[in-house]
Amino acid sequence: MKTRLTELLGIEYPIICGGMMRVGTAELAAAVSNTGALGIMTALTQPTPELLKQEIEKCQSLTDKPFGVNLTVGVVSTSINYDDYVDVICNSGVKIVETAGRSPEPFMEKFNAHGIKVIHKCVAVRHALKAQKIGVAAVSIDGFECAGHPGEEDVPGLVLIPAAADQLTIPVVASGGIADGRGLVAAMALGAEGINMGTRFVATQEAPVHENVKQAIVDMKETDTSLIFRSYRNTARVYDNDVAKKVLEVEKAGGEFGEVHEYVSGKNQDKAWTTGDVNAGMVTFGMCGGLVKSIPTCQELVSEIVTDARQIITDRLNKFIG
């Protein structure tokens, strides 16, 4: 499947496993890349730049295919020295970086000097246009259906993806609400050159999370997510568990973020992901969890998506052409 994105990144299929905190390890990234898609490690999953260097080296030992590193700026902590992480990435030989959060502009000169292609995640067309202006290679546009932070404008992918594709000249990657071959075909029809999936890759055998977390995705309906932090102007789509319900109660009562911090702390998130107690902390799932019915290997998942997409294009859609 050839698109501008596959040509740009040197991959076989226009499918990206987006960077996910706690989930984006060398093992998962390599497993995805070995399928012909693009796996992405998450830099800040590693507590120090030195550990990131080791994790990148581990990934390089597990695959000879392209993989990327995600760097989310200004969201996880204000005390992080991002320059140190950027230096490790630039000196590692990695040629693809996914950025999210704040603008990657402060790091673009260094990334460009090392021949690194930057894919910036955006939730609005105006942000995507700014990213294009500063020289990123592609934009991943996140629709309202996505897990994590969809922004405050609530524009779903069916509108946001073509709106971005209409105005950008660089490749657009569709993100949010995609879990299968139908989503890939739909994204292409809307003008995207590839797809980015997070939640769907969590429910794979290689994802480094507890089996109960994966099963929770399989069991969920498309309505089993909540939007929390709306009153703090930092909306997050998460699994509708006990913690989400408690946060919503505090917000409804006018409570400040400090009153919910303990519930959503990194410590409790780690507990949920690693022990399988999906009510222990904030768990980030997207609405597409309602479409997930199995826990395959990454190879099985990518093969199924590509096969289904080809069949939809050649068989079903061709029937509409006289």
| pLDDT averages per 10-residue partition of the chain, 322 residues | 96 97 96 98 96 98 98 78 96 97 95 98 97 98 96 96 98 98 98 98 98 98 98 96 97 96 95 97 97 98 98 91 74
Is 216 part of a structural domain of the chain?
no
Contact 44, 76 (CB under 8 A): yes
The residue segments making up the domain with residue 257 are 225-284
Is the same domain home to 158 and 178? yes
Is the same domain home to 145 and 273? no
Is the same domain home to 43 and 85? yes
Is the same domain home to 139 and 189? yes
pTM, rounded to two decimals: 0.96
Interatomic CA distance for residues 250 and 29, integer angstroms: 37
Strand-pair partners of 97: 69, 118
Q: E-assigned strands of 8-64?
A: 15-17, 38-42
Contact 75, 44 (CB under 8 A): no
Is 64 part of a structural domain of the chain?
yes
Is 164 part of a structural domain of the chain?
yes
Contact 184, 161 (CB under 8 A): no
pLDDT for position 76: 59
Is the same domain home to 33 and 181? yes
pLDDT for position 212: 98
Is the same domain home to 123 and 253? no
Is 289 part of a structural domain of the chain?
no
Instruction: Specify the pairing of strand 15-17 against strand 225-228.
Output: unpaired
Q: How many domains does the chain have?
A: 2
Is 217 part of a structural domain of the chain?
no
Is the same domain home to 150 and 189? yes
Say whether 305 sits in a helix, a strand or coil: helix
Q: What does DSSP assign to residue 313?
A: I
Is 145 part of a structural domain of the chain?
yes
Is 135 part of a structural domain of the chain?
yes
CATH number where 8 lies: 3.20.20.70
The end-to-end CA distance of the chain, in Å, is: 25
Phi-psi region of 77 (alpha: psi -120 to 50; beta: other; left: phi over 0): beta
Is the same domain home to 88 and 199? yes
Is the same domain home to 173 and 258? no
Q: E-assigned strands of 224-313?
A: 225-228, 236-239
Is 96 part of a structural domain of the chain?
yes
Contact 56, 71 (CB under 8 A): no
pLDDT for position 320: 86
CA torsion through residues 300, 303, 309, 313, sign:
negative
Q: E-assigned strands of the chain?
A: 15-17, 38-42, 67-73, 96-101, 117-122, 138-142, 172-175, 194-197, 225-228, 236-239
Is the same domain home to 239 and 277? yes
Is the same domain home to 88 and 156? yes
Is the same domain home to 103 and 53? yes
